[in-house]
Structure 1
Amino acid sequence: MTGLAVIRPGPLSLLQDAGRARWQHLGVSPGGPLDIHAAAWANHLLGNPWGTPLVEIALGGVELESRLDTWVALCGAELPIAVDGESRPNWSSFPLRVGQRLTLGFARSGQRAYLAVAGGIRVGAVLGSVATQTREGLGGLHGDGQPLRAGDLLPCAPASLPGMAGVPWRFVPDYRAELGLRVILGGYAGDFSVAERRRFFAQAWTLSPQSDRMGMRLLGEPLRAPTRQWSLGVTTGTIQVPPDGQPIVLMADRQTMGGYPVLGWVHPLDLGLLAQCPAHRTLRFERVEVEAVQGEMREFYRFFGR
Structure 2
Amino acid sequence: MAFKVIKPGLLALVQDLGRHGHQSIGLTTGGPMDEVAFRWGNALLDNDPNSAQIEITFGMFTLEAQANTSIAVTGADLGATLNDKSIPPWQTYAIKKGDILAFHQPVWGLRAYLAVKGGFLCEPTLGSVATVMREKIGGLTSKGDKLKKGDSLSYHTSHDHQQRAVPRLAIPNYGNKEIPVILGYQYQSFSSLERANFFSSDYTVSSNSDRMGYRLEGKAVHTELKGIISEGIAYGAIQIPKDGQPIVLLRDRQTIGGYPKMGCVTRVGGGILAQQKPGDIIQFTPITVDQAEQERHLQMARLAQWR
TM tier, smaller: over 0.9
Question: What one-letter code is carried by the residue in structure 2 that aligns with 1:39?
Answer: F
- Secondary structure of 2:104's counterpart equals strand
Q: Partner residue of 1:207?
A: 205
After superposition, residues 218-233 of structure 1 pair within 5 angstroms as 218-225=216-223, 226-233=225-232
Distance, in Å, in 2 between the alignment partners of 1:299 and 1:32 is 21
**Partner deviation per Cα, 1:195-241 (whole Å, 9 max, x = no partner):** 11111101111111111000001111211122224111111100110
How far apart are the structure 1 equivalents of 2:228 and 2:80?
50
State the shift of 1:191 in Å: 1.1
Q: Does 1:114 align with 2:121?
A: no
1:303: how far off?
A: 4.2
TM-score (norm 2): 0.95
Percent of pairs with identical residues: 38
Q: What letter is aligned with 2:180?
A: R
The count of corresponding residues between Structure 1 and Structure 2 is 304
Alignment of 1:265-280 (within 5 A): 265-280=264-279
* Structure 2: distance between partners of 1:256 and 1:187: 18
2:170 touches 2:299 (CA, 8 Å); kept in 1?
no
Correspondence for 1:181 among 159, 179, 182: 179
Q: Contact 2:19 / 2:31 at 8 angstroms: preserved in 1?
A: yes
Give SS of 1:297's match.
helix
For 1:272 and 1:14, the matched residues in 2 are separated by: 16
- Whether the aligned pair in 2 keeps the contact of 1:122 and 1:155 (CA below 8 Å) is yes
Q: Separation in 1 of the partners of 2:267 and 2:143? A: 28
Distance 1:60 1:51 in 2: 23
Deviation at 1:178, TM superposition (A): 4.6
**Partner SS state of residue 154, structure 1:** strand
Q: Could you say which residue in structure 2 is the equivalent of 1:55? A: 54
Measure, in 1, the Cα distance between the counterparts of 2:79 and 2:208: 27
Cα separation, 2, equivalents of 1:282 and 1:88:
28
Deviation at 1:43, TM superposition (A): 1.1
Runs of 4+, deviation exceeding 4 Å:
none
Q: Distance in 1 between matches of 2:23 and 2:15?
A: 17
Which stretches in structure 1 are left out of the alignment for 5+ residues?
none
Match of 2:207, SS?
coil
Correspondence 1:261 to 2:260: yes
Unaligned 5+ runs, structure 2: none
1:126 aligns with 2:132: no
In the alignment, what sits opposite 1:90?
89
Q: Following TM superposition, by how much is the alpha carbon of 1:302 offset from its aligned partner in structure 2, in angstroms?
A: 4.4
Aligned-residue RMSD, C-alpha: 1.4
My pick for the range that moved more, 58-67 or 226-235, is: 226-235
1:74 maps to which residue?
Answer: 73
Question: 2:153 aligned with 1:160, yes or no?
Answer: no
